Structure 1
Amino acid sequence: MSAQAPKISFEFFPPKTLDASFRLWETARALAPMGPDFVSVTYGAGGTTRQLTHEAVTTINRRYGLPVAAHLTCVEATRDETMKIVDDYAQAGIREIVALRGDAPKGADRFTPHPEGFANSIELIEAIAARGDMTIRVGAYPEPHPDSADSDADVAWLKRKIDAGATSAITQFFFEPETFFRFRDKCVAAGIYAPIIPGILPVQSWAGTKRFAATCNTTVPAWAEEAFQLAELDGPEAHRRLATDLSVDLCARLIEGGVDRLHFYTLNRPELTRDVCAALGVTARPELNAVA
């Protein structure tokens, strides 16, 4: 493993209930002392958590002093409404956006642009970039996006997003490092030199992870299916050990392959992510404990 610990970042999602709120703040409090490069807060499908996302972003920034990248999508909003959200973030001191097309609203088969909205993520990126005051991150897909023809199309689209003003990309999660390395090689061949940050999903629930993988076209290897089925027979602690070991191994192999940044999908549960980071040499910084 590299002697130098990687830069890390975390993804949270906005709470919809009181109990979920407690989980989010506990997760932020637990992970803030690890000094993340940034944290991101997701946007519900169809823009369903627009206000909740805004509240979570501004509270995390204010309470924990963390750089926050707010997810923003094109779904079910006019251009003016979407850019008003960017204005509100700027006024609150938020200077990072994860610009996404977004998934179709619940009940819809496919994404359909609002008649007065942005048609796609590139139009959104261009509008945000024109302000000149935001760092723009985007999504990337080591395996073909469900709406994409193939991986080459995803790479070409990512190139257009970078050219439109994005400065880095965060990938969808994957199970094997070779998946990321193949994608990274294609990106370099296409002239993409912006940082591409691997997205890491420590497995909290194997059934939930498989459902998530099915929605985003992530391949579930047979070895992972077999390993988690066996671990679940032995109980929660065996599952936790396996999930931790597999994430640490994946991250270590990525680092050996030249990766210096990792983005963790926490699912608002800090324990596994914290354990994986510690194994990689990323530990709490004493000066940040007081903030958290």
Structure 2
Amino acid sequence: MKFSYEVFPARTAKGHKSLEQSMHRLKAINPTLISVTYGAGGGERERSFASVELANNHAGCPVAAHLTCVGMSAEEVHAVIDHYLDLGISHIVALRGDPPEGIDAPYHPHPHGFQRTEDLVAAIIARANLRGQPITVSVSAYPEKHPQSPTTSHDIDVLAAKVEAGATRAMTQMFFDNSTFLALRDRITSRQIPVPLIPGIMPIHSFERTLSFAQRCGASVPKALIEHFAGTQGDPAAEREQAISWTQQQINDLHAKGVEEFHLYSLNTSQLLCDLIAVIRGEQHV
């Protein structure tokens, strides 16, 4: 099994230092990749750049920089692409991005920006080719329909368009019901979309916060997950033990069904991920 992980930009000097320490600790899992999310807007953008540079210097693995097109003109997007290429980044995760009002708000493209994610994918590749630099572009996929998509079939149409534009990897939103991922994989295979599908796995750092986040992004919560955490409220040690055992089971089940690579949402912390991977690899017990 191969593991990669995601971090988000640090907002403070203290957070920046903590993120650096987490990156050093996470070298223990031998990650194949670290991805750094992107914040639109001036201050958020600069924090994204700083965290990408931090990952470049301290993660000890290839870096994938996220890029969204929400709220930016094509000229601004080109400038961000150029900045990442200047840093030596050779992997970008191309995303439409959520409206500032939230994931449920209608999406309105910038009047001088990109209308669709596939346009962003094409722009990234064109920009890299213009400079003679290699580039890999990953995109998102949704085991459970995108909140603004009319159907799962439409989701597949969107993914196909992104791959047609040049994307070569797809990473999923988080999910807790493996059957939704496997059904998505079947739909991709049926449509003959030539792209590997990497599951996005959310280790449960806090059960209550995870439930809230799942509700916001449209990820279903199986009854089995709720039962798994029954009786752990107010007991951090028990909750952590159940978190590791649940995610271990989820990953092992997917691995048994042919999945070899997993992308973990770290939430900028390291201990839970390090312990989880050690358990999966048989290096320690829960």
Whether these two folds match at TM > 0.5 is yes
Structure 1 residue 62 and structure 2 residue 57: aligned? yes
Residue 229 of structure 1, CA deviation? 3.9
Give the Cα–Cα distance (whole angstroms) in 2 for the partners of residues 262 and 106 of structure 1.
30
Q: Match for residue 240 of structure 2?
A: 240
Residue 109 of structure 1, CA deviation? 2.3
Change in CA separation of 1:74 and 1:221 when aligned onto 2, cut-off 3 Å: same
Give the Cα–Cα distance (whole angstroms) in 1 for the partners of residues 188 and 162 of structure 2.
12
Residue 63 of structure 1, CA deviation? 3.0
CA deviation profile, 1:2-39 (whole Å, cap 9, x unmatched): xxxx1110000111123322321121111123221110
Paired positions, count: 277
TM-score, L = length of structure 1: 0.90
CA deviation profile, 1:235-272 (whole Å, cap 9, x unmatched): 01100000000000000000000001000000011111
Partner SS state of residue 194, structure 1:
coil
Partner SS state of residue 208, structure 1:
helix
Residue ranges of structure 2 left out of the alignment (5+ in a row): none
Partner SS state of residue 187, structure 2:
helix
Give the Cα–Cα distance (whole angstroms) in 2 for the partners of residues 177 and 76 of structure 1.
34
Q: RCO (CA 8 Å, sep 6+): is it higher in 1 or 2?
A: 1
Q: Match for residue 127 of structure 1?
A: 123
Give the Cα–Cα distance (whole angstroms) in 1 for the partners of residues 238 and 160 of structure 2.
42
TM-score, L = length of structure 2: 0.92
RMSD value, Cα: 1.8
Q: Match for residue 176 of structure 2?
A: 175
Q: What fraction of aligned residue pairs are identical, expressed as a percent?
A: 39
Q: Match for residue 265 of structure 1?
A: 265
Residue 48 of structure 1, CA deviation? 6.3
Q: Match for residue 96 of structure 1?
A: 91
Residue 225 of structure 1, CA deviation? 2.2
Give the Cα–Cα distance (whole angstroms) in 2 for the partners of residues 225 and 46 of structure 1.
37
Partner SS state of residue 229, structure 2:
helix
1:142-181 equivalences in 2 (<5 Å): 142-181=143-182
Change in CA separation of 1:73 and 1:48 when aligned onto 2, cut-off 3 Å: farther
Residue 46 of structure 1, CA deviation? 6.5
Residue 226 of structure 1, CA deviation? 3.2
Residue ranges of structure 1 left out of the alignment (5+ in a row): 1-5, 284-292
Contact 2:28 2:274 in 1 (8 A): no
Give the Cα–Cα distance (whole angstroms) in 2 for the partners of residues 240 and 47 of structure 1.
37
Partner SS state of residue 220, structure 2:
coil
| Aligned with 1:18 (options 10, 13, 33) | 13
Moved more, 170-179 or 125-134: 125-134
